[in-house]
Amino acid sequence: MKSISEIYSQLTVPKCIAITMHQKPDPDAMGSALGLYHFLLQFGHTVAVVSPTNWADFLDWMPANDKVLDYENYKQKEKADTSLINADWLFCLDFNTISRTRNMAPTIKNLSCTKILIDHHQQPEVESFDYGVSDVTKSSTCEMVYDFIIASGHPDKINIETAECLYAGVMGDTGSFRYPSASASLHRMVATLKDKGLLHTPVHDNVYDNYLENRLRFIGHVLQNRMEIMYEYNAALIAIPKNDLIKYEIKTGDTEGLVNYPLSIQGIKLAAIVIDRDEERKWSFRSKGDIDVNTFARENFSGGGHFNASGGRTYDSLEKTVQKFKLAIKENASQLQ
């Protein structure tokens, strides 16, 4: 993978460009994709954003979100395939391996276009990309897209639409700027976006204060009935069966952030949530301090991500994967106590 700086000089030459991100995009994935979209449009490029799957309703407010193609929506798949096949460049944002694009992965692997990676996850699949930048020290892919815009020499192209999208991503991936990754340079980025006219309060409201009543009742039910605290290991587990999702009419995005709740309990260093989906059991892990959940997820649940935030999946039953988690916690007790 060559340095992304080698494409700077080509940015002003109009091309067909596609942008994609990981499945079930969060604010950072969608924000980086649409932030880059609004930036590239100003050079006369033809730009399409393709999501591997659907996304949470709380992302619908983002400027041009209505133009994003859902690859798994049969009404949009043909147009999505055409956008990918016709692309001169494909920007791959907020994922380290092509497998994270789910059913779209075989198509991406077979594309002959130039593939460009911008990502902050550990252990990137560098052999799959022609150009790119991977930096695990960055708070978010949105911060990296901002850096890309500045380094390419086009800060004047940061309009309000780009600013809103990028702010949403850095806000989401830093826990509203409370995580250690919220560096001084990130705060300078936000100051620049504010200078350009960004109104941050509406962005926060759209992301965090835009749910239905059933989600709040679902959270109450989960914390009361599905959360298990293992004080002997300084760990907590939330296991959500499928019938809970059906009962409370839970949609994509409604479980976002639930894994963080147990970390507010004094002494808890590792929190995990597993959700019983139709096709798989989906894990999310969060930790404090020197607890490496990236390695934990890779070794036990075919996952990975960041040192203090990662995910995983398994095709085992909910009961079996919970048992596996508890065994793994015991095996790592010395690190947690």
- What is the secondary structure of 269-297 as a DSSP string? -EEEEEEE-SS-EEEEEEE-TT--HHHHH
Domain match, 33 and 153 both: yes
Domain match, 192 and 61 both: yes
Total number of domains in the chain: 2
From CA 101, how far away is CA 142, in angstroms rounded? Answer: 18
Buried b (16+ CB within 10 A) or exposed e, 196-230: eebeeeebbebbeeebeeebeebbeebeeebbeeb
CATH number at residue 88: 3.90.1640.10
What mean pLDDT, rounded, does the chain reach? 96
User: Any idea how long the chain is?
Assistant: 337
Residue type, 49: V
Q: Token pair for residue 282?
A: 């989906």
CATH number at residue 282: 3.10.310.30
Per-residue pLDDT band at 51 (split at 50, 70, 90): very high
Domain match, 55 and 145 both: yes
**Nearest one of 193, 173, 190 to 181, comparing CA atoms:** 173
Domain match, 204 and 61 both: yes
Domain match, 172 and 228 both: no
Backbone angles phi, psi at 19, to 5 degrees: -125, 135
**Full DSSP string of 221-260:** HHHHHTEEEEGGGTEEEEEE-HHHHHHTT--TTTTTTGGG
Average pLDDT over residues 236-246: 97
From CA 135, how far away is CA 33, in angstroms rounded? Answer: 17
From CA 91, how far away is CA 37, in angstroms rounded? Answer: 10
The per-residue pLDDT for range 131-143, each reduced to its tens digit, is: 999 999 999 999 9
The per-residue pLDDT for range 170-203, each reduced to its tens digit, is: 999 999 999 999 999 999 999 999 999 999 999 9
Number of H helices, E strands in the chain: 12, 13
Which SS3 state, helix, strand or coil, does residue 145 take? helix
Domain match, 267 and 217 both: yes
Residue type, 114: T
User: Does the pLDDT of residue 2 top 90, yes or no?
Assistant: yes
The per-residue pLDDT for range 56-105, each reduced to its tens digit, is: 999 999 999 999 999 999 999 999 999 999 999 999 999 999 999 999 99
Query: Which helix or strand (DSSP H or E) is residue 93 part of?
Result: strand 89-93
Domain stops at, among 164, 182, 208? 208
Domain match, 156 and 299 both: no
Domain match, 137 and 261 both: no
Percent of the chain with pLDDT over 70: 100
pTM over 0.85: yes
Domain match, 184 and 44 both: yes
Domain stops at, among 176, 192, 208? 208
The per-residue pLDDT for range 283-328, each reduced to its tens digit, is: 999 999 999 999 999 999 999 889 999 999 999 999 999 999 999 9
Domain match, 270 and 217 both: yes
- Residue 235: give the domain boundaries: 213-336
Domain match, 190 and 236 both: no
The predicted pLDDT at position 92 comes to 98
The predicted pLDDT at position 334 comes to 84
Backbone angles phi, psi at 214, to 5 degrees: -60, -30
Domain match, 269 and 307 both: yes
Domain stops at, among 179, 208, 237? 208
User: Does the pLDDT of residue 336 top 90, yes or no?
Assistant: no
